[in-house]
Structures are given as C-alpha cells and as structure tokens.
C-alpha cells in the first residue's frame, strides 16, 4: 500500500455547509457540483462564491451544462465558458469538464476550448471518459494534454471502480511513467472497499460522493465520521 500521506481524498460538495464540514473532517480537495443524482451539474454562481469563501482547501468546480449526454453544441459551450469565468473570478482551484464526439471519442476541440478559457487553471476530465467507445485510445488522447488536464476522474470504464480495477491499475502505472493523465479513482468508492481498491490500484487520488454522506444518501448532509474513516482507510 502507498504512503497514505501522499494519497489525496476528494469529496463532492453541494454548498458552503458541505464544504466546511468536509474540509474539517479531513478532505484534501472538493468537487463542487449541483444535482448529484444526475452525476453533477454546474453549480450556481453564488454557491461557487460561498464555497470558495467557506474553506481553504482547493475547490474544483463542475462545468457541465446538462445531463442528457456528454456531447455539447455551441450554446452548451457558451454556458461552460460562463461557468469557467465564475469559477476563476471566485478563486476556485480548477474546473471539472469532459466532452465526447457523437462517435464516443474525446472531443479534443471542446477540450482545447476549455483549456483556453481556463487560462492555466487545472482541469479534471470527468467521467465522460467512462462512456468512451475505446477507453485505452481515449486515455492515450488525453495524455497529450497532461499538465493542463491535471487528473482524470474515472471508474476504469466500468460502472464502479471495483469493476474497473484492472484498467485503473494499468492507467495508474502509465501515468507514473509520465505516459498519461493521472487517474482520480471514483464511483462506488466506500469505507469498506477503499483499502482493497488502494492495494490493487495504487492510485494517489480517490473521489467520493454519497460515501461521504449520512446514510450514504445523495440527499443527506456530510458525515464527518465517514470522511475520517475514508481518510484512515488509506
């Protein structure tokens, strides 16, 4: 198992109350979204501002205009650009974004637009990756953006990280050789399975949503004890 001091725990939050609670409980970084039940959408500007003010740890802001698909037209991208401007102005640490073509490949043109608008802010490419038609090819494509794309939120192209563990382990090994974007392991990560996942995958970043909430429910508040347990599990 890796040195736990080098392992980062990212927690999804919905508002300033969540953010303060997660930070106090030991989260290292936050992903700010609205509508967790739909996989996370762009939060309102006033929420972004309040969350960044509420805590001192990094806040990554979701820029996802709808949950219909990961294919975006120009009107959608205008909303993404506005979300990025809001995040930058608020002092957020980075942006969370992902886009695919109609064929299910990484939409490099959309990604390059976002990197341009982010203007140096780190970008997490989110789980749009897990809907790609060829995950290994997509991982190779994203490798060309290593650096500006700081991490790849993924379950290993499977419903959960448990299911995708073999591919995640392979991607982690590649990223450590400088050959791809570093995976941020998410989906189905819990206190119960995190020690085993970490032993198998060896990632340096893990991402949790409902596992950090009371009763494991999307609609419940942050559970400090769960976050502390997740932290201790690494």
Across-strand partners of 61? 32, 95
- Overall average pLDDT of the 198-206 stretch: 97
Whole-prediction pTM: 0.95
Coil/strand/helix, residue 151: strand
Determine the pLDDT at residue 1. 34
CB atoms within 10 A of CB 126: 28
Determine the pLDDT at residue 215. 94
Two tokens at 187?
A: 């989906």
Query: For residue 160, which phi and psi values (nearest 5 degrees)?
Result: -135, 165
Q: Going by CATH, does the domain composed of 4-233 fall within 3.20.20.380?
A: yes
Determine the pLDDT at residue 234. 86
Residue 185 has pLDDT above 90, yes or no: yes
**pLDDT tens string 91-145:** 999 999 999 999 999 999 999 999 999 999 999 999 999 999 999 999 999 999 9
Residue 219 pLDDT level (bands cut at 50, 70, 90): confident
Q: pLDDT > 70: what percent of the chain?
A: 98
- Overall average pLDDT of the 78-95 stretch: 98
Residues 6+ apart with CB under 8 A from 75: none
What's the CA gap between 172 and 170, in Å, rounded? 5
Where along the chain do its domains lie?
4-233
Determine the pLDDT at residue 213. 96
Determine the pLDDT at residue 218. 87
Residue 4 has pLDDT above 70, yes or no: no
Determine the pLDDT at residue 224. 96
Query: For residue 9, which phi and psi values (nearest 5 degrees)?
Result: -115, 120
């Amino acid at each position: 198992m890796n040195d736990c001091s080098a392992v980062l725990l990212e927690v999804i939050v919905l508002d300033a109350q969540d953010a303060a609670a997660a930070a106090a409980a030991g989260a290292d970084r936050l992903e700010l979204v609205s509508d967790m039940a739909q996989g996370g959408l762009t939060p309102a500007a006033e929420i972004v501002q309040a969350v960044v003010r509420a805590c001192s740890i990094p806040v990554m802001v979701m820029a996802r205009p709808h949950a219909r698909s990961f294919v975006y037209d120009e009107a959608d991208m205008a909303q993404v650009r506005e979300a990025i401007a809001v995040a930058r102005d608020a002092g957020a640490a980075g942006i969370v974004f992902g886009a695919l073509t109609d064929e299910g490949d990484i939409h490099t043109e959309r990604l390059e637009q976002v990197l341009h608008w982010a203007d140096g802010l780190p970008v997490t490419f989110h789980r749009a990756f897990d809907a790609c038609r060829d995950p290994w090819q997509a991982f190779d494509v994203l490798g060309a953006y290593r650096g500006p794309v700081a991490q790849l939120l993924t379950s290993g192209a499977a419903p959960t990280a448990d299911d995708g563990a073999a591919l995640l382990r392979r991607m982690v090994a590649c990223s450590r050789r400088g050959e791809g974007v570093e995976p941020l392991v998410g989906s189905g990560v819990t206190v119960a399975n995190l020690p085993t996942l970490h032993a198998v995958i060896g990632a340096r970043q893990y991402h949790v949503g409902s596992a950090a909430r009371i009763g494991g429910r999307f609609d419940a508040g942050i559970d400090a004890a769960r976050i502390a347990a997740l932290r201790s599990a690494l």
